[in-house]
Amino acid sequence: MKLSAKEFEYHFRCLYRPLNMYALRYTENLDDAEDIVQQAFSDVWEKLAEGTPVQNLKAYMYQAVRNRSLSLIANRQAHCDATELTDLEDLTEEERIIRSERDARLWTAIDHLPAERKRIFLLSKRDGLTYQEIASELGISIKTVEHQISKALKALRETAIKVYTFFFG
Protein backbone atom coordinates (compact mmCIF):
# COMPACT_ATOMS: atom_id res chain seq x y z
CA MET A 1 0.00 0.00 0.00
CA LYS A 2 1.44 3.36 -1.04
CA LEU A 3 -0.05 6.40 0.73
CA SER A 4 0.27 10.09 0.05
CA ALA A 5 0.92 12.40 2.99
CA LYS A 6 -2.73 13.47 2.87
CA GLU A 7 -3.96 9.85 2.95
CA PHE A 8 -1.58 9.05 5.80
CA GLU A 9 -2.88 12.08 7.72
CA TYR A 10 -6.44 10.81 7.22
CA HIS A 11 -5.50 7.40 8.66
CA PHE A 12 -3.65 9.10 11.50
CA ARG A 13 -6.73 11.15 12.40
CA CYS A 14 -9.01 8.09 12.24
CA LEU A 15 -6.75 5.73 14.18
CA TYR A 16 -4.88 7.94 16.66
CA ARG A 17 -7.43 8.00 19.47
CA PRO A 18 -8.53 4.34 19.18
CA LEU A 19 -4.88 3.27 19.16
CA ASN A 20 -4.21 5.38 22.26
CA MET A 21 -7.11 3.70 24.06
CA TYR A 22 -5.78 0.33 22.92
CA ALA A 23 -2.27 1.06 24.19
CA LEU A 24 -3.69 2.47 27.41
CA ARG A 25 -5.33 -0.89 28.17
CA TYR A 26 -1.84 -2.40 28.20
CA THR A 27 0.27 0.38 29.72
CA GLU A 28 -2.27 1.96 32.09
CA ASN A 29 -0.36 5.21 31.52
CA LEU A 30 -1.57 7.85 29.06
CA ASP A 31 1.88 9.32 28.39
CA ASP A 32 3.30 5.89 27.60
CA ALA A 33 0.32 5.08 25.39
CA GLU A 34 0.70 8.31 23.43
CA ASP A 35 4.45 7.76 23.02
CA ILE A 36 3.87 4.23 21.75
CA VAL A 37 1.25 5.33 19.20
CA GLN A 38 3.31 8.27 17.97
CA GLN A 39 6.38 6.07 17.54
CA ALA A 40 4.33 3.42 15.72
CA PHE A 41 3.00 6.04 13.29
CA SER A 42 6.50 7.41 12.80
CA ASP A 43 7.85 3.92 12.09
CA VAL A 44 5.12 3.05 9.60
CA TRP A 45 5.60 6.38 7.81
CA GLU A 46 9.30 5.56 7.42
CA LYS A 47 8.51 2.05 6.17
CA LEU A 48 6.06 3.41 3.62
CA ALA A 49 8.59 6.04 2.51
CA GLU A 50 11.14 3.25 1.98
CA GLY A 51 8.62 1.42 -0.19
CA THR A 52 7.91 -1.40 2.27
CA PRO A 53 4.41 -2.67 1.50
CA VAL A 54 1.72 -2.61 4.19
CA GLN A 55 -1.39 -4.48 3.10
CA ASN A 56 -3.79 -3.43 5.87
CA LEU A 57 -2.69 -0.27 7.68
CA LYS A 58 -5.25 -0.54 10.48
CA ALA A 59 -4.28 -4.13 11.33
CA TYR A 60 -0.60 -3.27 11.01
CA MET A 61 -0.94 -0.32 13.40
CA TYR A 62 -2.84 -2.32 16.02
CA GLN A 63 -0.19 -5.04 15.88
CA ALA A 64 2.64 -2.49 16.10
CA VAL A 65 1.03 -0.77 19.10
CA ARG A 66 0.39 -4.12 20.80
CA ASN A 67 4.00 -5.21 20.28
CA ARG A 68 5.40 -1.90 21.53
CA SER A 69 3.09 -1.98 24.56
CA LEU A 70 4.14 -5.51 25.48
CA SER A 71 7.81 -4.58 25.01
CA LEU A 72 7.40 -1.62 27.35
CA ILE A 73 5.75 -3.81 29.96
CA ALA A 74 8.43 -6.47 29.58
CA ASN A 75 11.18 -3.89 29.98
CA ARG A 76 9.57 -2.49 33.12
CA GLN A 77 8.70 -5.82 34.64
CA ALA A 78 11.57 -8.11 33.74
CA HIS A 79 10.44 -10.62 36.35
CA CYS A 80 7.08 -11.13 34.57
CA ASP A 81 6.90 -14.24 32.41
CA ALA A 82 5.53 -14.26 28.85
CA THR A 83 2.18 -15.80 29.73
CA GLU A 84 1.42 -12.98 32.12
CA LEU A 85 2.18 -10.43 29.41
CA THR A 86 -0.17 -11.94 26.87
CA ASP A 87 -2.94 -12.59 29.40
CA LEU A 88 -3.28 -9.02 30.62
CA GLU A 89 -7.02 -9.37 30.32
CA ASP A 90 -9.29 -12.25 29.40
CA LEU A 91 -10.10 -10.56 26.10
CA THR A 92 -9.42 -11.57 22.56
CA GLU A 93 -7.44 -9.24 20.34
CA GLU A 94 -10.64 -8.38 18.48
CA GLU A 95 -12.41 -7.53 21.76
CA ARG A 96 -9.52 -5.25 22.75
CA ILE A 97 -9.75 -3.42 19.43
CA ILE A 98 -13.52 -3.06 19.71
CA ARG A 99 -13.18 -1.71 23.24
CA SER A 100 -10.48 0.77 22.28
CA GLU A 101 -12.57 2.05 19.39
CA ARG A 102 -15.63 2.33 21.64
CA ASP A 103 -13.58 4.16 24.26
CA ALA A 104 -12.29 6.55 21.61
CA ARG A 105 -15.86 7.27 20.44
CA LEU A 106 -16.88 7.90 24.03
CA TRP A 107 -14.05 10.38 24.64
CA THR A 108 -14.82 12.12 21.35
CA ALA A 109 -18.44 12.47 22.44
CA ILE A 110 -17.35 13.76 25.86
CA ASP A 111 -15.04 16.26 24.17
CA HIS A 112 -18.04 17.63 22.25
CA LEU A 113 -20.03 18.40 25.42
CA PRO A 114 -20.25 22.06 26.41
CA ALA A 115 -17.25 22.94 28.60
CA GLU A 116 -19.05 23.27 31.94
CA ARG A 117 -21.17 20.14 31.36
CA LYS A 118 -18.05 18.20 30.43
CA ARG A 119 -16.27 19.39 33.57
CA ILE A 120 -19.18 18.42 35.83
CA PHE A 121 -19.59 15.06 34.11
CA LEU A 122 -15.89 14.19 34.45
CA LEU A 123 -15.75 15.30 38.07
CA SER A 124 -18.56 12.86 38.76
CA LYS A 125 -17.76 9.87 36.56
CA ARG A 126 -13.99 10.02 36.17
CA ASP A 127 -12.98 11.55 39.49
CA GLY A 128 -15.74 9.97 41.61
CA LEU A 129 -16.90 13.17 43.31
CA THR A 130 -20.39 13.26 44.78
CA TYR A 131 -22.92 15.78 43.49
CA GLN A 132 -22.51 17.69 46.77
CA GLU A 133 -18.72 17.83 46.36
CA ILE A 134 -19.04 19.03 42.77
CA ALA A 135 -21.58 21.68 43.76
CA SER A 136 -19.31 22.93 46.56
CA GLU A 137 -16.18 22.93 44.39
CA LEU A 138 -17.85 24.81 41.53
CA GLY A 139 -20.09 27.06 43.64
CA ILE A 140 -23.31 25.81 42.02
CA SER A 141 -26.42 24.06 43.30
CA ILE A 142 -26.79 20.30 43.55
CA LYS A 143 -29.79 20.58 41.19
CA THR A 144 -27.53 22.21 38.57
CA VAL A 145 -25.07 19.33 38.93
CA GLU A 146 -27.88 16.78 38.56
CA HIS A 147 -29.29 18.60 35.53
CA GLN A 148 -25.90 18.89 33.79
CA ILE A 149 -25.03 15.22 34.34
CA SER A 150 -28.47 14.20 33.11
CA LYS A 151 -28.00 16.27 29.94
CA ALA A 152 -24.50 14.86 29.44
CA LEU A 153 -25.76 11.28 29.75
CA LYS A 154 -28.59 12.01 27.34
CA ALA A 155 -26.15 13.44 24.78
CA LEU A 156 -23.86 10.42 25.15
CA ARG A 157 -26.77 7.99 24.84
CA GLU A 158 -27.72 9.72 21.60
CA THR A 159 -24.30 8.77 20.24
CA ALA A 160 -25.16 5.14 21.07
CA ILE A 161 -22.36 4.69 23.59
CA LYS A 162 -22.83 2.61 26.70
CA VAL A 163 -21.34 4.96 29.28
CA TYR A 164 -22.02 2.65 32.19
CA THR A 165 -19.87 -0.16 30.80
CA PHE A 166 -17.00 2.22 30.07
CA PHE A 167 -16.84 3.65 33.56
CA PHE A 168 -17.99 0.67 35.58
CA GLY A 169 -17.69 -2.39 33.31
pLDDT of residue 151: 92
With vertex at residue 91, the alpha carbon angle to CA 159 and CA 84, rounded to the nearest 5 degrees, is: 140
Verdict on whether the full-model pTM lies above 0.75: no
140 or 49: whose pLDDT is higher? Answer: 140
Residue 48's pLDDT band, with cuts at 50, 70 and 90, is confident
Helix (H, G, I), strand (E, B) or coil at 52: coil
In whole angstroms, give the CA distance from residue 77 to residue 85: 10
5-46 pLDDT, tens digit each: 888 889 898 899 889 888 888 888 888 889 999 999 999 988
Spell out the CATH class of 112-169: mainly alpha
107-144 pLDDT, tens digit each: 888 888 999 999 998 888 777 888 999 999 999 999 99
Where would I find the beta strands (DSSP E) of 118-162? none
